[in-house]
Amino acid sequence: MAIIRNTIAKKTVFEIIQLNKTAMSQTEIFAMVNNICDRVTVYRILERLVKEMKIHKIVNVNGVINYAPCNSCEHEQHLHHDHLHFSCTTCKKLTCIADNHIELNIPSNYQVAEVFLTVSGICPNCLIIP
Amino acid sequence: MAIIRNTIAKKTVFEIIQLNKTAMSQTEIFAMVNNICDRVTVYRILERLVKEMKIHKIVNVNGVINYAPCNSCEHEQHLHHDHLHFSCTTCKKLTCIADNHIELNIPSNYQVAEVFLTVSGICPNCLIIP
DNA sequence: TTATAAACGCAACAATGTTGCATAATTGTA
DNA sequence: TACAATTATGCAACATTGTTGCGTTTATAA
């Protein structure tokens, strides 16, 4: 069994993700850690936090991987069945929107693991500015 | 108004996408055009085909952008409301699965443009092999 | 306090996507 | 059919994102 260590860098990264309202990319997170560690370390910390199920990985509509805390989704298997991600095309921010249970209609010969539901558009913040 | 040209490279790329059963990445498409053109040209052709609404862009769960023909989704706005993408974690292939109308529950201050519904798991082909 | 395995930094690499610019090719029109 | 206009291409160079190997540092259990 691997021993999990709680390093300063790891704590800092996790705090940043938790405090932020929108999901963040590695680039954004690294910009906020203030050179407390190397950018490779950020990648490795994110990888570990995902494995420990403290954060989850969401792909933005442009292909950039984002990370968000696993607050409301503590169920095993890490399924996102009632979870929706809004991807703003203006500010590029990815926001979690809960309470979206959906019914799928997938042939039984497919083995489903995770459900990713992402909606693109313009978020309230960006709609204000004309 | 821009004049749309139908070049050999563009026709070839479009044919490849149409004939393939699964969505394809730029890398896969470029591998199939047999050096008929540069890889940058493939990127630009894909960009144009998306703008002309002949193909659409789907992000795989690993962040790689894939392209699929717009066969069954001819409605304006390019919305994918009744369209689902299955992303196989084994063979990495992205398959379109139709007939999946979903109801969303998004606050009215969000302006929705497109809906991306992607399910990861194991596809029938990969399930056969034990 | 120390041994040990986890975590890190650095350098180098790999994959994917973008941009600028000179050249080639397609298409409407004369 | 030839020409002009402008779209499309090739090439080189760059940017971003993510990965790997390896020697060194550090957190934690004992």
Mean pLDDT of A35-61: 93
What CA–CA distance (Å, rounded) separates B99 from B18? 20
**Distance, CA of B115 to C1' of C19, in Å:** 30
Question: Residue B34 belongs to a domain with what CATH number?
Answer: 1.10.10.10
pLDDT at B127: 84
What CA–CA distance (Å, rounded) separates B75 from B95? 20
Judge contact between B92 and A91, C-beta under 8 A.
Answer: no
**Distance, CA of A9 to C1' of D30, in Å:** 26
Confidence of residue A84 (pLDDT cuts 50, 70, 90): confident
Residue A88 is part of which domain span?
Answer: 8-128
Number of other CB atoms surrounding residue B128 within 10 Å: 8
Q: Is B113 on the interface with A (CB under 8 A)?
A: yes
Q: Is residue A33 part of a domain?
A: yes
Q: What percent of chain B has pLDDT over 90?
A: 38
What CA–CA distance (Å, rounded) separates B80 from B60? 15
Q: Is residue B1 part of a domain?
A: no
Candidate from A102, A109, A122 with C-beta closest to B111:
A122
Q: DSSP strand E in chain A: where? A: 24-25, 55-59, 65-69, 84-88, 94-97, 111-122
Q: Is residue A85 part of a domain?
A: yes
What does the pLDDT look like over B79-96, one tens digit per residue? 555 678 888 888 878 888
Q: Is the pLDDT of residue B69 over 60?
A: yes
Q: Is residue A3 part of a domain?
A: no
pLDDT at A25: 94
Higher pLDDT, B79 or B20: B20
Q: Crossing angle for the helix pair B8-19 and B39-51, nearest 10 degrees?
A: 70
Nucleotide nearest B62 (Cα, C1'): D18
What CA–CA distance (Å, rounded) separates B68 from B14? 10
Cα–Cα distance list, B84 to A97, A102, A104, A106, B118 (Å):
19, 12, 9, 9, 6
Q: Is residue A36 part of a domain?
A: yes
Strand partners, A120: A87, B114
Q: Is residue A2 part of a domain?
A: no
**How does the average pLDDT of chain B come out, rounded?**
84
Q: Is residue B72 part of a domain?
A: yes
Strand D: list positions under 7 Å from protein Cβ: 6-13, 16-21, 26-29
Q: Is residue B3 part of a domain?
A: no
Residue type, A10: K
Which residues of the protein have their beta carbon within 7 Å of strand C? A 2-5, 7-10, 36-38, 40-41, 44-45, 48, 63; B 3, 5-8, 25-27, 40, 43-44, 47, 64-65
Confidence of residue B37 (pLDDT cuts 50, 70, 90): very high
- Count the domains in chain A: 1
Handedness of CA B88, B92, B96, B101 (dihedral sign): positive
In chain A, residues with a C-beta closer than 8 Å to the C-beta of B106 are 84, 86, 97, 100, 119
Judge contact between A113 and B89, C-beta under 8 A.
Answer: yes
pLDDT at A1: 53
Distance from CA of A125 to the nearest CA of B (A): 9
**Distance, CA of A114 to C1' of D29, in Å:** 37
pLDDT at A33: 93
**How does the average pLDDT of chain A come out, rounded?**
84
Q: Crossing angle for the helix pair A39-51 and A8-19, nearest 10 degrees?
A: 70
The radius of gyration computed from the CA coordinates of chain B, to the nearest angstrom, equals 16
